[in-house]
Amino acid sequence: MSEALAAEWTAWIAQNVLRGAPDEALVATLVGAGLSEDRALDEVTAVRRSPILAGAASLVRRSAGVEQVARLLRERMPPMEEVDALDEDELYRTFWLGHRPVVFRGGARGFPAMGWSFDGLAERFGEIPVDVLADRGADWWTDREGHVARTTFGALVRTCLDTVGDAVYADGRSELLATQGLEPLAADLGLLPGLVGDGFPRLWVGPAGTVTPLHHDQSTGWLVQLVGRKRVWMASPLEVALMSTTHGLFNTVDARCPPAGELEEVRFSTFELEPGDAVLIPVGWWHQVEALTPSISVSMGGFRWPAVHTWYCPGRATLP
């Protein structure tokens, strides 16, 4: 180790002091990294006495308390539920007030869109120009606008049927239903419990293999499967380990293979959505979605109860 202690090591000492690690353990690690015992003890003592650390510590105590609250509530989280019938009263009392997701099997069975097929839609709307996300690499979400491309609905359908992968996706924000010429599609949708007006629908159209990375939204929504199948992973906002890996609304953890350590302990519920199935995704719940076949889904979020919480973003939160 060089003369001046590397900044990462000072940060490492500070983090571990704040975690309550004893000096001996810190010194042992620093000695293992090449410091003499005296020097290691000096460095730990300097960090421990730093007024900067004292300032941070009072805020960390508050966050640590909140973390305990989250852990307590997490222990009491019931397992994810699936139902075949759900009225508005039950949705409100059990799931809305409980802030719990629910899979509603066959909830959208009555939507006329259940009769959609890729070929049928291409025949009706093939010539219509649409926006899609294209050339999606691993971190496309850091520059969504940079991936917007113009194509036709017919070409999108061919991509869906002839390719597998995550490169091209007409996601919700591509706003297919608001696209000139595609307006008639909205007439084939319906409402699920709790929704009012037109339910504020957004279509998601893509090939097998599209992956919407782990993220949370700032409003509650139904995700409804219309054509094909998707696999969904969900985790409660009380899973505090996910707080270390958030970037804005997204999370770098891949729910299919969480990294070793505390992230392995995150309790993900996973299930498949078939045509007609819907899942209620409460605001703040982490979710990741992978298309298992060419897929058309619709997300809906116009509820009769307050559902939008634009302030909620733990990935960018500061303490009050």
Out of 213, 299, 302, 303, point to the residue binding ligand AKG (CB under 6 A).
299
Closest distance between ligand AKG and the C-beta of residue 310, in Å?
15
Query: By rule CB under 6 A, what string of x and - marks binding of each residue 145-184 to ligand AKG?
Result: ----------------------------------------
Nearer to ligand AKG, 102 or 223 (CB): 223
| Range 210-239, binding ligand AKG (CB under 6 A) | 212, 217, 221, 223, 230
Placement of tokens 């409003």 in the chain: 219
Nearest Cα neighbor of 215 from 173, 155, 161, 152 is 173
Closest distance between ligand AKG and the C-beta of residue 273, in Å?
9
Greatest pairwise CA separation for the chain in angstroms: 78
Rounded Cα–Cα distance for residues 64 and 113 (Å): 48
Rounded Cα–Cα distance for residues 222 and 103 (Å): 9
Nearer to ligand AKG, 105 or 216 (CB): 216
Nearer to ligand AKG, 13 or 288 (CB): 288
Q: In the structure encoding, which two tokens stand for residue 219, read together?
A: 């409003």
Cα 282 versus chain centre, distance: 11
CB 288 within 8 A of CB 235: no
- Structure letter (DSSP) for residue 113: G
Closest distance between ligand AKG and the C-beta of residue 288, in Å?
8
Out of 242, 281, 283, 307, point to the residue binding ligand AKG (CB under 6 A).
281
Nearest Cα neighbor of 232 from 202, 204, 259 is 204
Rounded Cα–Cα distance for residues 301 and 146 (Å): 26
289 counts as binding ligand AKG under rule CB under 6 A: yes
Closest distance between ligand AKG and the C-beta of residue 300, in Å?
9
Nearest Cα neighbor of 234 from 271, 280, 282, 287 is 287
Closest distance between ligand AKG and the C-beta of residue 178, in Å?
16
| Range 10-39, binding ligand AKG (CB under 6 A) | none
Q: In the structure encoding, which two tokens stand for residue 100, read together?
A: 């719990």
Number of residues that bind ligand AKG (CB under 6 A): 11
Nearer to ligand AKG, 30 or 289 (CB): 289
Nearer to ligand AKG, 235 or 281 (CB): 281
- Structure letter (DSSP) for residue 303: B
Closest distance between ligand AKG and the C-beta of residue 133, in Å?
11
Residue 102 to residues 24, 81, 95, 221: CA-CA distances in angstroms? 48, 5, 7, 11
- Do β-strands 295-300 and 221-227 pair in parallel, antiparallel, or remain unpaired? antiparallel
132 counts as binding ligand AKG under rule CB under 6 A: no
Residue 272 to residues 149, 223, 224, 260: CA-CA distances in angstroms? 29, 12, 11, 25
Rounded Cα–Cα distance for residues 1 and 30 (Å): 9
| Range 64-93, binding ligand AKG (CB under 6 A) | none
Closest distance between ligand AKG and the C-beta of residue 225, in Å?
9
Q: Which stretch binds ligand AKG (CB under 6 A): 18-26, 109-117, 175-183, 281-289?
A: 281-289
204 counts as binding ligand AKG under rule CB under 6 A: yes
Q: In the structure encoding, which two tokens stand for residue 56, read together?
A: 């941070």
Looking at the chain, how many residues does it have? 320
Closest distance between ligand AKG and the C-beta of residue 10, in Å?
39
Nearer to ligand AKG, 43 or 217 (CB): 217
Give the binding site for ligand AKG (CB under 6 A): 204, 212, 217, 221, 223, 230, 281, 287, 289, 297, 299
